[in-house]
């Protein structure tokens, strides 16, 4: 699935690469979409990618060091 490789892993890898570069108490804001909450026909790939990204942010938020924050917004 292209969405998982590009949309999800691209942003996950960005956060992982930025962990050592971002200032203490800094924030990551990732972009997602509404299709995991409001699905449409032929939107399975996007819904899967958006759900995976939301899951990553939920899990990563409680593991962020140095007061870092992470959130996801729908665009």
Query: Over the stretch 19-73, which tens digit does the pLDDT of each residue have?
Result: 999 999 999 999 999 888 888 899 888 889 999 999 999 999 999 999 999 999 9
**Calpha distance 25→22 (Å, rounded):** 8
CATH number where 46 lies: 3.40.50.720
**Calpha distance 53→4 (Å, rounded):** 9
Domain of 14 in residue numbering reads as 2-74
How many domains in the chain?
1
Strand partners, 32: 74
pLDDT category of residue 1 using cuts at 50, 70 and 90: low
User: Is the whole model's pTM more than 0.85, yes or no?
Assistant: yes
């Amino acid at each position: 699935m292209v969405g998982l490789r590009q949309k999800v892993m691209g942003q996950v890898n960005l956060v992982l690469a930025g962990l050592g570069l971002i200032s203490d108490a800094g924030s990551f804001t990732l972009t997602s979409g509404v299709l995991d909450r409001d699905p449409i026909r032929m939107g399975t790939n996007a819904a899967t990618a958006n759900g995976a990204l939301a899951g990553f942010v939920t899990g990563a938020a409680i593991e962020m060091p140095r007061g870092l924050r992470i959130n996801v917004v729908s665009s």
